[in-house]
Copies of this chain bind each other. A is one copy, B any other.
Amino acid sequence: MSNIGVMGDPDERGHFGDFGGRFVPEALMPACLELEEAFRDAWADPSFINEYRTTLSQFVGRPTPVTPLPRLSEKLGLRLYAKREDLAHTGSHKINNVVGQTLLTRRMGKTRIIAETGAGQHGVATATGAARLGLACTVFMGEVDTVRQELNVFRMELLGARVVPVTSGSRTLKDAVNEAMREWVTCVADTHYCIGSVMGPHPFPWMVREFQSIIGIEAAAQLEELGAGTPDLVVACVGGGSNAAGIFAGFANSDARLIGVEAAGGAAVASGSPGVLHGMRSLLLQDEFGQIEEAHSMSAGLDYPGIGPEHAYLADSGRAEYFAVGDEEVLDAFSLLSESEGIIPALETAHALAWITREVGALIPRGATVLLNLSGRGDKDVAQVRQLLKGES
């Protein structure tokens, strides 16, 4: 476990530099404090770590492999490797965090879990983790998303979760978070709110990063084993930033350049400014009056107007760099990986690859060793891409 915590921990109030903190209604403060204490305690307890690690290996299928991508490498003139979170149970890295938080929920003696979800990835993961431990589960999902992603709604129901369509605001992810927070206030005694990315009030951004750091810890060791050494670049897509934080954690102390790729329509680093939302101070898309703007990306998982506070800090400090890519580049990258290597990536992941393909020979020197975090599989996106590429419905 020595590697856990390689990215700097926040201060005792959850600040990563100017970002982070805990901006929640007073009613939730005790829960946040209790959670922080429970997490600190658990994360220092070998029996908890063992339970977490065992669940990841026996249930989630970890370690996920690092796959060399020889054909794409040749096409691009790189040495390209992919960390295969698409192979984790439920199809993305989201489950790593859920495993940690559900085990923690049980440890805290709580019997119910709530979560927000956009397209449904985190919702399905949470419903999965809850089913495994026999926790009651309620998932808040923007009404617009419940219609767009009705199969994921049904998936969650199959897993025994209740899905609550959120009809406030823009009826999408950001409003689902608001609604989950509103719900949490009413039931915080027996209910844990399982936030799905490195966002929200302290300790969530830190805790979720810790639960996701397994990605980077594994990947660093696997690259060594493959003889690839330390990569020149580590590239991940960024919605809230949990998969990026997780893989960065394995390389923060190395020479690797850390690259986060946002959707152009939800680029909190490129287009945002400091603000407070959902319990954290971070970079947000907002208008001149401080009203939060909706993100717009074809990729539901990146459709979030903010970014985790640690990323805001990493951007500020220069340790990580953040770029944005547009929808067309993403579609190209989606097809490219599929046909070159037999891996259909999530649209979110395709953002990271799109940046790589764009920047080879520019920001990325030819011949560089590049590690792509393949955060999820594209099965969930195939219908949408088909519609976009074929112009059919």
Contacts and interface: CB of A to CB of B under 8 A. Distances in A.
Q: Oligomeric state, in number of copies?
A: 2
B89 A61 contact: no
A128 B131 CA distance: 32
B67 A131 contact: no
Contact of A339 (B58, B159, B344): B159
Interface in A136-151: 151
A106 to B, nearest CB: 13
A151 B339 contact: no
A174 interface: no
A339 B67 contact: no
Contacts of A67: 58-59
Interface stretch (A184-192, A266-274, A303-311, A378-386): A378-386
A113 to B, nearest CB: 12
B61 A158 contact: no
A35 interface: no
Most buried by B among A155, A383, A385: A155
A61 B61 contact: yes
B128 A158 contact: no
Contacts of A154: 382, 385-386, 390
Most buried by B among A58, A131, A342, A390: A342
A343 B68 CA distance: 29
A191 to B, nearest CB: 19
Contact of A344 (B155, B334, B379): B155
Contacts of A57: 65
A167 interface: no
A286 interface: no
A194 interface: no
Give the contact-size bracket for chain A: 35 or more
Nearest to A383: B151
A386 B151 contact: yes
A159 B84 contact: no
Chain A interface, DSSP helix/strand/loop, else mixed? helix
Contacts of A151: 382-383, 386
B58 A66 contact: yes
Interface string A367-390: 000000000000100110110001
B68 A58 contact: yes
Interface string A228-262: 00000000000000000000000000000000000
Interface in A82-121: 84, 86-89, 91
Contacts of A65: 57-59, 61
A91 B89 CA distance: 10
Given A335-B158, A382-B154, A386-B151, A130 B59 contact: no
A91 B91 CA distance: 9
A341 B55 CA distance: 12
A343 B55 CA distance: 13
B61 A64 contact: yes
A13 interface: no
Nearest to A124: B344
Interface in A315-361: 334-335, 338-344
A64 B61 CA distance: 6
Nearest 4 Cβ contacts at the A-B interface:
A131-B342, A128-B342, A160-B339, A61-B87
30 contacts: A57-B65, A58-B65, A58-B66, A58-B67, A58-B68, A59-B342, A61-B64, A61-B65, A61-B84, A84-B89, A86-B89, A87-B88, A89-B343, A127-B342, A128-B342, A128-B343, A129-B342, A131-B338, A131-B340, A131-B342, A132-B342, A151-B382, A154-B386, A154-B390, A155-B382, A158-B335, A158-B339, A158-B385, A159-B339, A160-B339
